[in-house]
């Protein structure tokens, strides 16, 4: 008899084919996030769960799934899952790191360019038929080439963004809890700086940190006040890293020139007033949304699930201690 799994949203065909061939699959029939009650009902008799970053997998939900053996998250992040509770219950949790690095870096740059050069505003201007001819003051924006880029977080994605900045002859500052070796800094033409110095000196500040207690509201009123009035904030990391209400106020009062966001503090909701500001480019969490990358993510998530259900340690397990503990029982 095939093991039963719950998949909380439809995934690219290649991943779904793997799952349907191997398991008795229950797929969320709605093109939306499942409610807590729907998750509980769906997971109750399942051995495996393949979920998304938008699914809140709490201890209470796990307690309703007495047969649950593995949780596979279709994302790099996993702050949507109570990993501590999963570990206590002997349930491995997996993610999909690495595969979306370059695609996310591409989108960070798309936001940076679109924000600085007012691409979205200009597109809307053209579509409503407002263009009456070239003008010397029409949609003046900010230059990118030769400017200073400040990177907060220098993991895989931060490094990929830095590599792209070299071609724009930018001065690249970075801050991370762990400073890179000197040879890596030289290779990417990086300068290490403290957090506040990056905010003061950068023309573009791009965020690439995980969401942990210490990074919630990492960028708030104080930090935005340190930035130059000609500077731009780019966030493709996690929404709660930025105090969204403070950002709205900073944009309204022109404390900074603009912002580009792919993630939001209370996603999918936005802070009041944010959508009405022309100086911000807003995207619906699509940093990894290329056909190739989303297909690879789906395949990795499916393989993680299959490995875990086979009783083996998945390659991308975020709590491998559950296997170590099991071996000593």
Residues acting as catalytic residues = 238, 267, 285
Q: How far is CA 231 from the centre of its chain?
A: 22
Report the 10 Å Cβ neighbour count for 308. 24
The strand order across the sheet containing 4-7 reads 24-27, 4-7, 48-51, 70-73, 93-94
**What residues form DSSP beta bridges with 235?**
207, 261
In contact, 316 and 96? CB cutoff 8 Å: yes
Task: Give CA separation, 41 vs 25, 54, 63, 101, in Å.
Answer: 14, 18, 12, 35
**Measured between alpha carbons, how far is 310 from 321 in angstroms, rounded to an integer?**
17
**Measured between alpha carbons, how far is 72 from 92 in angstroms, rounded to an integer?**
8
Report the 10 Å Cβ neighbour count for 10. 14
**Measured between alpha carbons, how far is 48 from 304 in angstroms, rounded to an integer?**
11
User: Which of helix, strand or coil describes residue 298?
Assistant: helix
Based on its alpha-carbon atoms, the radius of gyration of the chain, rounded to whole angstroms, reads 22
Residue 261 neighbours by CB under 8 Å, 6+ apart? 111, 234, 235, 239, 242, 280, 281, 282, 283
Q: Token pair for residue 101? A: 């690095």
Is the bond into 52 cis (omega within 30 degrees of 0)? no
Q: How far is CA 74 from the centre of its chain?
A: 12
């Amino acid at each position: 008899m095939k093991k039963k799994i719950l998949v909380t949203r439809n995934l690219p065909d290649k991943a779904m084919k793997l799952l349907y061939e191997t398991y008795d699959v229950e797929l969320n029939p709605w093109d939306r996030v499942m409610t807590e009650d729907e998750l509980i009902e769906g997971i109750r008799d399942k051995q495996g769960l393949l979920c998304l970053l938008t699914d809140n997998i709490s201890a209470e939900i796990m307690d309703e799934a007495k047969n649950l053996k593995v949780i596979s998250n279709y994302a790099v992040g996993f702050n949507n899952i109570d990993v501590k509770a999963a570990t206590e219950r002997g349930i491995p949790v997996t993610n999909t790191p690495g595969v979306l690095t370059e695609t996310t870096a591409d989108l960070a740059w798309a936001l940076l360019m679109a924000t600085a050069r007012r691409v979205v505003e200009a597109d809307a201007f053209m579509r409503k038929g407002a263009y009456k001819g070239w003008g010397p003051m029409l949609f003046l924006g900010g230059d990118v080439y030769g400017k200073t880029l400040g990177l907060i977080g220098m993991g895989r994605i931060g490094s990929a963004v830095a590599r792209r900045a070299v071609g724009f002859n930018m001065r690249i500052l970075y801050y991370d809890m762990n400073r890179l070796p000197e040879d890596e800094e030289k290779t990417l033409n990086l300068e290490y700086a403290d957090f506040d110095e990056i905010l003061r000196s950068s023309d573009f500040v791009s965020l690439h940190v995980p969401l942990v207690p210490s990074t919630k509201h990492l960028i708030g009123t104080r930090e935005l006040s340190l930035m130059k009035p000609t500077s731009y904030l780019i966030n493709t990391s996690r929404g709660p890293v930025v105090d969204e209400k403070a950002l709205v106020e900073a944009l309204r009062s022109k404390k900074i020139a603009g912002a580009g966001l792919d993630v939001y503090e209370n996603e999918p909701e936005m802070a009041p007033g944010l959508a009405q500001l022309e100086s911000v480019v807003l995207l619906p969490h699509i940093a990894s949304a290329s056909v190739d990358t989303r297909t690879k993510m789906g395949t990795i998530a499916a393989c993680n699930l299959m490995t875990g259900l086979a009783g083996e340690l998945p390659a991308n397990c975020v709590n491998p201690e559950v296997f170590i503990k099991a071996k000593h029982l």
